[in-house]
Structure 1
Amino acid sequence: MPPIVTDQMGRKVQLPAPPLRIVSLVPSQTELLADLKLDEAVVGITKFCVHPEHWYRNKDRVGGTKEVKMNVIEQLAPNLIIGNKEENSPEDILALEKHYPVWMSDIEDLEDALEMIRTVGLLTNRQPAAEELAGQIQGAFIDLGQYTQRLPPVSAAYLIWRDPYMVAARETFIDYMLQQAGFRNVFARERRYPEVRLEAIAAREPEVILLSSEPYPFKDKHIAEIRSACPTSEIRLVDGELFSWYGSRLLKSPAYFKALRQR
């Protein structure tokens, strides 16, 4: 009898042991599967799964995170699909779970991310490697916390979208990561990803405005229009993957946050 596991949404999922044909619907979890040396087992990824590059070039793509191509997945015949509550559409997941085992993550903080990493290791028969990776990430964030505790918090607004402008507020993994980096989110009273006007950002008087590289690719050319409305704030472009990806890329985030705070 194949094992039954509970995913991070509390769903019971019956799995093959171990899965040999995996489709990943989440970029950060795709990179995790690569770092767990599952090259042959992963048969499908999304068009946003850009890491590792050779997977992006060579693996079959099953559409986007929100618009999965069911016919492509059917051709790939996976025996495990890995998704995420926030990144994938409920309609797609409901359709997929009628035909395939679908394991879902739900990430709000580092504890959730480490649990996901360890569980994916269990699902894919890569427990020792996943446990080692989770331990390294946990240690790096402990070291980061010891560093940021010595610094005064910096008030910040974190922009994820333009036209309309949208910010990351509370109940997001990005807000959690801002806190780990020693920033105080000026939109912590709002929920999720509210739309805001530049005047509303200026009214909160953030010391720094962080422009993310994803999902909207902010560039140097966008700084001037934001500075004109928020002249007292420092404005910086930041690597959105290091604030929002919750797989193995987390290992790189603490050093990046330290460097960002030093600047």
Structure 2
Amino acid sequence: MKQKTLVDQIGTAHFFETSPKRIISLVPSQTELLYDLGLEDKIIGITKFCVHPYHFKSTKKSVGGTKKVHFEKIRLLQPDIIICNKEENTLEIVEELRKICPVWVTNIATIEDNFQMITDFGQLFNCRTEGQKWNDKLAFALSDFKNYIKDKEVKKVAYFIWKKPFMVAGSDNFINELLKLNHFENIYQNKGRYPEIELKKMRLDGDPDLVFLSSEPYPFAEEDAFEIGRHTHHAKTVFVDGEMFSWYGSRLLKAFDYFKKMHEKL
């Protein structure tokens, strides 16, 4: 990598004389992507939520979560770069980390943003060929899925992510992007990014055909499905894999297959 300036997805310019060799990733889906780009040996620190690949929890240093990090542990690891995300990590964390080393922040709300992130990582870590391979695979799978879904009828959905208070996926986020791709009309897409909602108002809010209960960040149970479902007229309540709807990066390739199986069951 020659000396060059690269700009991350929140518009911050970074100048690197050489490609970063010591990476800390504070975003689970991006940790998985870095691994899939062949960068395992350069990853020195991850969060406790970085569960893919599985062996990282015993081979990489945990530096906390996504919202609470251990700054001293990070400093002692002497990273060349820290990978964050605008939604996953707070501005306060990012600003504190910048005192240690450059912090590259991604911002993923669309599939196009995802392609851009992979291209950026290819340039940043001198693995352009691997990055291009992944983008090609994802582009092919996306085209195939759009062909699969084109004749499916549009159904109204509510996608739940939290309880106490009840919260759902709204607009301007990756979950809503994938709901739209699947021909699901999000009844809360005009209520903000992750609105708190009242169950008793669900019928007025749009009365969904489907209620999705995500496996993360809150682990919904059968009693939750019953409680939520009785506030609709006829909705089918479905437990869905949150990683498939909210993880970007290379995980998207597995998501397309998951979505096809999901539609067959619906």
CA distance change for structure 1 residues 106 and 62 in 2, over 3 Å: closer, same or farther?
A: same
Contact 2:119 2:131 (C-alpha < 8 Å) held by counterparts: yes
Q: Secondary structure at the match of 1:151?
A: coil
**How far does the alpha carbon of each residue in 1:206-250 deviate from its partner, in whole angstroms, 9 at most, with x for none?**
000000011111233421222232351000000011111111101
SS in 2 for 1:8: coil
- Partners of 1:56 and 1:2 lie apart in 2 by 34
Question: What is the aligned partner in structure 2 of residue 226 from structure 1?
Answer: 228
The equivalent of 2:185 in structure 1 is 184
User: TM-score scaled by structure 1?
Assistant: 0.96
Q: Is the CA contact 1:220–1:237 (under 8 Å) kept in the aligned structure 2?
A: no
1:7-44 deviations in whole A, cap 9, x for unaligned? 00000112352211100010000000111121210000
Post-superposition offset of 1:2: 4.1
Which residue does the alignment assign to 1:4? 5
Q: Which residue of 1 aligns with 2:176?
A: 175
TM-score, structure 2 length as denominator?
Answer: 0.95
* Distance change >3 Å, CA 16–CA 77, structure 1 → 2: farther
Could you tell me which residue of structure 2 aligns to residue 261 of structure 1? 263
**1:206 is the counterpart of 2:208:** yes
Partner of 2:111: 110
Provide the residue aligned with 1:91 in structure 2. Answer: 92
| SS of structure 2 residue aligned to 1:40 | helix
Distance 1:16 1:142 in 2: 38
- Counterpart of 1:124 in structure 2 is 125
Choose 202-211 or 222-231, whichever is displaced more.
Answer: 222-231
Change (3 A) 1:39 1:211: same
Give the whole-Å Cα distance in 1 for the aligned partners of 2:48 and 2:152.
40
Partner of residue 38, structure 1: 39
Q: Find out whether 1:238 has 2:225 as its counterpart.
A: no
CA offsets 1:37-78 (integer angstroms, 9 cap, x no match):
212100000111111110023210111111111100011000
Q: Which amino acid aligns with 1:5?
A: L
Gaps of 5+ in 2: none
Q: Which amino acid aligns with 1:214?
A: E
Deviations 1:139-192 (Å, cap 9, x if unpaired)?
111111122111111110000001111010111111001001111111111110
The 5 A counterparts of 1:73-92 are 73-92=74-93
- Determine what percentage of the aligned residue pairs are the same residue: 41
Q: CA deviation at 1:99?
A: 2.6
Work out whether residues 67 and 89 of structure 1, in 8 Å CA contact, stay in contact via their aligned partners in 2.
no
The worse-fitting range, judged by mean Cα deviation, of 72-81 and 117-126 is 117-126
* Per-residue deviation, 1:197: 1.3
Q: Distance in 2 between matches of 1:16 and 1:199?
A: 57
- Which amino acid letter does the alignment assign opposite residue 95 of structure 2? L
The residue matched to 1:104 in structure 2 has which SS?
strand
For 1:29, the equivalent position in structure 2 comes to 30
Deviations 1:112-157 (A, max 9, x none): 0011011112211111111111111111111111221111111100
The one-letter code matched in structure 2 to 1:120 is F
**How many residues are matched?**
263
Q: Deviations over 1:86-132 (max 9, x none)?
A: 11010111111123011110111000001101111221111111111
1:140 aligns with 2:158: no
CA distance in 2, matches of 1:26, 1:69: 14
Displacement after TM superposition at 1:258 (Å): 1.6
- The aligned residue for residue 219 of structure 2 is 217
